[in-house]
């Protein structure tokens, strides 16, 4: 994923995709398109009143957003930045890896349709490899870290317990590197990053890195998959 200004996107993404392809050819370990088969949380919240939000970071936000846009019960998934200051929440600055921000996705969901636990299970299974530290696939830097931005103590405790459960079950080749950080602000990314997977399905970066994640959602979580994604532009059009 390019960190260059958007008016150079075509050139930058060509280079990024070449890097992604070489990474897949050379990588001796788990390929990005593989899903982890993991148990659900031992304790979950299955219903509550009103819409809830969850902010997750797991590498390039294009794929994270794309997966959750295809998840039943999610009413909106917005790509953005979290972990840093408002004044540095833009693509060029975040790409330097010095802002404290991670590329993140704010998920708005109906807890009567999909629980927090199920969203976390999808996150740790098909969205990304939570054992990678400050990288996902061909992208590296703290802006690509695996992080759950928690909004209250109960949510943080649930995530902590689930990470401990998964580590104890030894479903991964090494320990989970996901960090928990308090939610201090979420800043929506530039419009050209929204709905990127859906709008650019033939872009090589998306083909190699992100479409397999959506396919894994369909296979591993068939009951939670929906064919038509909920898009940011469609939500905006109805408001």
Give 11-27 as a DSSP string: HHHHHHHHHHHHHHHH-
What does pTM read for this prediction?
0.88
38 lies in some domain: no
Q: Say which residue, 7 or 108, is predicted with more confidence.
A: 108
Do the domain assignments include residue 33? no
Instruction: Band the pLDDT of 34: cuts 50, 70, 90.
Output: confident
Q: What are phi and psi of 2, to 5 degrees?
A: -70, 145
Structure confidence at residue 122 (pLDDT): 98
Q: Is residue 215 part of a domain?
A: yes
**Of these residues, 1, 57, 60, 122, which one is catalytic?**
60
60 flagged as catalytic:
yes
pLDDT tens string 162-219:
999 999 999 999 999 999 999 999 999 999 999 999 999 999 999 999 999 999 999 9
Domain count, the chain: 1
Q: What is the CATH number of the domain that holds 208?
A: 3.30.1060.10
pLDDT at residue number 236: 77
What is the domain extent for residue 169? 6-26+45-238
- Return the pLDDT at 235: 80
Tell me whether residue 92 is in a domain. yes
CA–CA dist 214, 235 (Å, integer): 21
Closest by CA position to 166, among listed 34, 57, 38: 38
What's the chain's average pLDDT?
Answer: 88
Q: Is residue 19 part of a domain?
A: yes
Using CA atoms, how far apart are residues 14 and 23, in angstroms rounded to an integer?
Answer: 14
Residue 11 has pLDDT above 80, yes or no: no
Report pLDDT digits (tens) over 75-111.
999 999 999 999 999 999 999 999 999 999 999 999 9
**pLDDT score recorded for residue 131:** 97
Residue 33: CB atoms within 10 A of its CB come to: 16
How high is the pLDDT of residue 45?
Answer: 77
């Amino acid at each position: 994923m390019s960190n260059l200004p958007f008016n150079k996107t075509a050139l930058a993404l060509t280079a990024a995709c070449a890097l992604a392809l070489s990474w897949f050819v050379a990588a001796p370990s788990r390929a990005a398109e593989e899903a982890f088969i993991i148990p659900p949380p031992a304790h979950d919240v299955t219903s509550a009143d009103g819409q809830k939000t969850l902010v997750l970071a797991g590498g390039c936000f294009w794929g994270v957003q794309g997966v959750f846009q295809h998840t039943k019960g999610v009413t909106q998934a917005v790509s953005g930045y979290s972990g840093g200051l408002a004044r540095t929440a833009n693509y060029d600055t975040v790409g330097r890896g010095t802002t404290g921000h991670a590329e993140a996705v704010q998920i708005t969901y109906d807890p009567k349709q999909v629980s927090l636990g199920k969203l976390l299970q999808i996150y740790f299974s098909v969205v990304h490899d939570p054992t990678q530290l400050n990288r996902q696939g061909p992208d590296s830097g703290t802006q690509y870290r695996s992080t759950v931005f928690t909004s209250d103590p109960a949510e943080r405790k649930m995530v902590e317990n689930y990470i401990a459960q998964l580590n104890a079950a030894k479903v991964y080749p090494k320990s989970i590197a996901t960090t928990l950080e308090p939610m201090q602000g979420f800043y929506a990314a530039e419009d050209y990053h929204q709905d990127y997977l859906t709008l650019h399905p033939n872009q090589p970066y998306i083909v190699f890195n992100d479409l397999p994640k959506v396919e894994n959602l369909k296979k591993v979580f068939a009951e939670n998959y929906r064919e038509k994604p909920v898009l940011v532009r469609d939500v905006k059009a109805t408001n």
